Structure 1
Amino acid sequence: MSQKSLHVRLGIVVSLLALFLVSYAIPSFVFSPSNVGNIILSPLFWPYVLAGLTGIVGLSLLANAFLSAEDTPFEDEETAQADGSAPWLRLGALALIMVLVMVALPRLGMVWTAMLAFAACAFLFRTRHPIAALVCAVIIPLLLYAFFAHVAGVAIPQGDFVRLP
């Protein structure tokens, strides 16, 4: 399979998914009271934002496929499928991380658990940028906590050991 045909297929599927979300799923299954004062706090706002971004990604994939001149094969030496048991071990390790996240959430809290899970997944998938992954593993959960706890006024589950302000 070439990269161009992959982008066309993914672009069509993602664009249709975004259209389905905007036209049927969000209006049918996401309920919002009519008296929400702040549009950002409305239960409809973020699903529509994510559906719109999904549509933009799908259309970008299609544009990339039709505007690119070269038709390169999708797999090379770096991206070729691994042989043996390595993919299954990685899948098992990811399942173990998921179970550990569920066990750690009540004890460590959502922010600290998210930091550890992000870092563990980054190293499990052997990122090329380990320093950036560690920085993102710390900063992104803290920024999300700051937004939801202090701006949106949503209580974020805290752990037994360390409490954030």
Structure 2
Amino acid sequence: MTERHLQLRLGIFAVLASVFLIFYAIPGWVSSPSNVRNVVLSPLFWPYALAGFTALTGLGLVAAGLRASEAGEPLNPPSEDPGAAWTRLLVMAGIMGVTMFLLPRLGMVLTSMLVFAATAFLVRTRHPKTALVCAVVIPLLLYAFFAHVAGVAIPQGEVLRLP
């Protein structure tokens, strides 16, 4: 499978998944009271926002796939070591186990940073600097939004207390 085929397939699947969510799953399975004053706090807002972002991402993948050339090498050549996939799977299971151990001790924000970075390096990202920046910035932004805008308590750890 070439990169073009992968992008087209992922893009089409993402668009179809978002259409399913927007027109069937969210209206059918997510209920919301009519007296919610802040639209961001409505139980419908974030599912629709994520479904919309999924559709935009899918359309972007389809557009990139259509622009890409047909020629190309296979995206994932066969691995020399077939045991490497099992090793990565076991390491991912270890990361998940360590996550459950660290959550009450370090808190959700710091644990998320570490898990994001560990997972990015496990899958051998082509953009390690971007992955590290995102590993720090995204959990902090999510904490700031949920703790200070939405008023939702985010679990804090014993090591670090955020304002």
TM bracket (short chain): 0.7 to 0.9
Mean CA deviation greater in 130-139 or 27-36:
130-139
Cα shift at 1:148: 0.9
TM-score normalized by structure 2? 0.88
Aligned partner of 2:136 in structure 1 is: 138
Give 1:145 deviation, angstroms: 1.0
Measured in 2, the distance between the counterparts of 1:152 and 1:36 equals 13
Alignment gaps of 5+ in structure 2: none
> 1:29 offset after TM fit, Å?
1.2
Question: Which deviations, in whole Å up to 9, do the C-alpha atoms of 1:7-47 show, x marking residues without a partner?
Answer: 33323222211111011100111111111111111111111
Which residue of structure 2 aligns with residue 89 of structure 1?
Answer: 87
1:84-113, Cα deviation, whole Å (9 max, x unpaired): 211110111011101110111112110111
The alignment covers a number of residue pairs equal to: 162
**Aligned partners of 1:137, 1:69: CA distance in 2, in Å?**
30
Gaps of 5+ in 1: none
How far apart, CA to CA, are the structure 2 residues paired with 1:95 and 1:145? 25
TM-score (normalised: structure 1): 0.87
| Larger mean Cα displacement after TM superposition, 148-157 or 3-12 | 3-12
- Residue by residue over 1:107-143, the C-alpha shift from the partner in whole angstroms, topping out at 9 and shown as x without a partner, is 2110111111112112222233333332322222122
Using a 3 Å threshold, how does the CA distance of structure 1 residues 143 and 65 change in structure 2: closer, same or farther? closer
Q: For residues 23 and 12 of structure 2, what CA distance do their matches in structure 1 show? A: 16
Q: Which residue of 2 aligns with 1:41?
A: 41
